[in-house]
Amino acid sequence: MFVEIISNSYEEWRQRMANRKRNIQMNFYVTENKKRLIDERIKLLASLFDCQCT
């Protein structure tokens, strides 16, 4: 039963990810200062658009 729940959740997640508009993931290194700036910008944009992006 527990395995079913996990596999169903996983399948639902896979389906959602397959239908994403933004399907490119970016991974890169930044300094601690740049990371703080990025985090601040994300919080600002989230508050402007009133969403839960963080």
- Rounded to a whole number of angstroms, the CA Rg of the chain reads 16
- Mean pLDDT, to the nearest integer, of 42-54? 75
pTM value is 0.47
More confident residue, 8 or 29: 29
5 — pLDDT class (breaks 50, 70, 90): low
Structural domain boundaries in the chain: 2-49
pLDDT digits 0-9 by tens, 18-43? 777 776 778 999 999 999 999 999 89
∠ Cα 5 9 12 (to 5°): 140
